[in-house]
Structure 1
């Protein structure tokens, strides 16, 4: 549980392996991580036959693991009432509610510790990296290949830093940037959501079959947000349900993960504006899970503390100027507010990467990603330096492997042959073509596992829920 005390308490780590379908040409093990924090790598491996290309399935054993505190690996368990209490306070509006939030966060963290045991205080990514090295040794592999997406890139980045000579190949898709302070974190997240929604608005303006075609989608969002602030935005029900401003932001954030959802998203905004009964489906309430590892990881990986509500309010004002339509990122915001007063130590705080001695590492990011902004990938590549090769998918979304055939081909070629694309390569954007094609995707028949694995309906890197 605590790598500083390797002879101390232990826990069982769950793994799954999909063996290479062409054993005679097997290259080795490809470890995979779908993100979260909270996504199940075991389930990722179970889904490998539908989610990864035949080339990867032929040549690699696909090995997924549930990171410590997740799924089948001694899951972090928290008090449901404490989770609900925190959720109600994540958007404080004054000093009193900020103090109440800090108290709720502390009580939630203490409940996680009480119900989970000592592992709850050892959930940082540095510990996961040590676990992954133990997996490599257990597999009997001299070097491993790795594909990590979203939060899984943080694990890969820090593994490459600590164990550079154990890396055969590494693809980091939709990158985290662990060097950002509190303001830089919020600013880049807000811009990411603003830009991805702007791409949706522009697409709708040029797509006659969009439900909002002929309307100003930016102005509509602004109107919905202001009506929600005033308590005037409701969805039908018995009784009618008011819609909070953060709920309007959350549906916009969610829509940016995969443009395949944009036809439904546009119709949902039109329904919400009109007060149609169908709007209630979009704003379904999510029950707080008992298994709740997200804060235990993020609050041990990021020092995002602020000294007072006044600082938080200043952030909110400045973010509104940077992102005048969407205002701020609900994901970035709740990561920060959810960690105020958290009782565990920040044992793996932000810092620049220091990678030296690995083979080339392929990093990819969408140009318009609402969860892990393009600037994060570019900055991570700069920090890694000469070992990094950076590819940009010029479209919208999160998880380039299933969004762009160009990016997927580059990733497959690199993992199999070690041949990288040219640094700075761009892959063209792909846009939804029409209502009849809205369920189609550019994934070439592969199933994107991230929405199911990560619960991206709740907002995530992906944040599982």
Structure 2
């Protein structure tokens, strides 16, 4: 669910795409770089489940394996039926910036009993995240940059470039040289070091959102070390900067269209009977004119970016649509109930998102004129929503970023893995359907592609059908038939929760920034 924290800092309704990463106890003393992980008992924040924690030491720069090192934090939930244990299931919740340790601690509530019986569920905080030497940046600088992510002139574009450079250098000053080695290719090398430390010849893997990017590139580099791999809600690392913007913007427009259609047929929607598309266009126009001022406390002038960011976050899970519709109605009426307090500023804050994104994609544009041309073209592609706030902040946030693009976009070249299960929602605002289908095509004969015909991000928790297919594959290696689809699931009442059985999507409580479920 992938807005950078800079794009979320002023989100109007307080519906941040996620909370802060779940904190874990400080892990034990690290094992040697070439040794097995040394596990010690540790408690989850909830006190539920039985867990062990460890660290694995890896180089900061994999090109200099004997140089400086960092410790990667791990947590695992042991298989509850050890006599039938299959092996380790590595998991990643996305981001960049999502805590795999927190994801592992959520395993008893997040994954099916069948997976918990047969696998050690192992989560790790990627380099620069959580307990793995987190990237730190001054939140004042983050907020300063956030205010400039939508430039409207050559002068404001120059100010943005300067703010990006200052933020990146500040992150380096507060964190150290790790900031220059945050690319996904390095994370892939880290993951194989974890595999070795687990004593596994081959691993099983479940990655969602940005976690699919890690999985895709792991399969590319280490095809014979994969037992099974599920890629849920897929990245597409082959895209140039315009294709990235266009596909994300189309996904936003289509997802909002599904919301509007649902509202039209659902009497309990707060906007039922109204033209929901026209309302959204009107709110954007009023905000652009400075006419949306919310009373209460100090008056707050709503920006178009506020509205787009909230809409984007609300497309992650249709369970949020009842609240989203009520928020739009309150905003239209300038109801002070629509306002929420902003985040505090001035302290160092964890900020892994741009250090990874700006090393994985080449987003630099030559001038403000190019950026303005993009914005006009996107508004033609998406006349209601106009752009994807996530994709736009990725583009603008990486202008003049001080680190190199060390892992540039490329088409996947996967050869020699077992079948990989690739799954994507038909209307996914964060990782568009076209990304999933394109990733499956790039993987080729090794891929089995499953479509969830609904709206949202993170199919495992949106669709009981998709969850069952993923479980079956991870347990038995049996993939769905070619061209398989799972039916859409729609919310039916204001209290409806999007759950598969008794499983709840944990990711919004685990990840504070970036793409995640």
Q: What TM-score, normalized to structure 1?
A: 0.97
Distance 2:314 2:295 in 1: 22
Bigger drift between 229-238 and 126-135 goes to 229-238
Provide the secondary structure at the position in 2 that maps to 1:69.
coil
2:116 is the counterpart of 1:62: no
Asked if 2 retains the 8 angstrom alpha-carbon contact of 1:255 and 1:262, the reply is yes
Equivalent of 2:388 in 322, 329, 336: 329
2:240 is the counterpart of 1:181: yes
Deviations, residues 400-448 of structure 1 (Å, cap 9, x unaligned): 000000000000000000000012211000101122x43x224211121
Unaligned runs of 5+ in 2: 1-59
> How much has 1:359 moved relative to structure 2?
0.2
2:481 is the counterpart of 1:427: no
Aligned to 1:418: 477
Aligned to 1:403: 462
2:338 is the counterpart of 1:286: no
4+ residue stretches of structure 1 with deviation over 6 A? none
Asked if 1 retains the 8 angstrom alpha-carbon contact of 2:317 and 2:498, the reply is no
The count of residues paired between Structure 1 and Structure 2 equals 456
2:496 is the counterpart of 1:453: no
Deviations, residues 338-377 of structure 1 (Å, cap 9, x unaligned): 0000000100010000000000000000000110000000
Distance 2:414 2:307 in 1: 40
Written as runs of structure 1 = structure 2, the 5 A alignment for 1:120-269 is: 120-269=179-328
2:144 is the counterpart of 1:85: yes
2:501 is the counterpart of 1:444: yes
Provide the secondary structure at the position in 2 that maps to 1:12.
strand
Provide the secondary structure at the position in 2 that maps to 1:424.
coil
Equivalent of 1:341 in 400, 403, 406: 400
Asked if 2 retains the 8 angstrom alpha-carbon contact of 1:430 and 1:442, the reply is no
Asked if 1 retains the 8 angstrom alpha-carbon contact of 2:458 and 2:516, the reply is no
Distance 1:423 1:78 in 2: 46
Aligned to 1:76: 135
Distance 2:359 2:297 in 1: 42
Distance 2:489 2:363 in 1: 35
Asked if 2 retains the 8 angstrom alpha-carbon contact of 1:249 and 1:329, the reply is yes
Written as runs of structure 1 = structure 2, the 5 A alignment for 1:363-382 is: 363-382=422-441
Aligned to 1:462: 516
Distance 1:142 1:205 in 2: 53
More helix as a share of residues: 1
> How much has 1:287 moved relative to structure 2?
4.1
More strand as a share of residues: 2
Deviations, residues 278-325 of structure 1 (Å, cap 9, x unaligned): 1113xx423466111100000000001100000000000000010000
Distance 2:260 2:97 in 1: 31
Unaligned runs of 5+ in 1: none
Q: CA RMSD in A?
A: 1.0
Asked if 1 retains the 8 angstrom alpha-carbon contact of 2:220 and 2:414, the reply is yes
Provide the secondary structure at the position in 2 that maps to 1:285.
coil
Provide the secondary structure at the position in 2 that maps to 1:169.
strand
Asked if 1 retains the 8 angstrom alpha-carbon contact of 2:499 and 2:505, the reply is no
Distance 1:104 1:380 in 2: 34
Provide the secondary structure at the position in 1 that maps to 2:480.
coil
Provide the secondary structure at the position in 2 that maps to 1:78.
strand
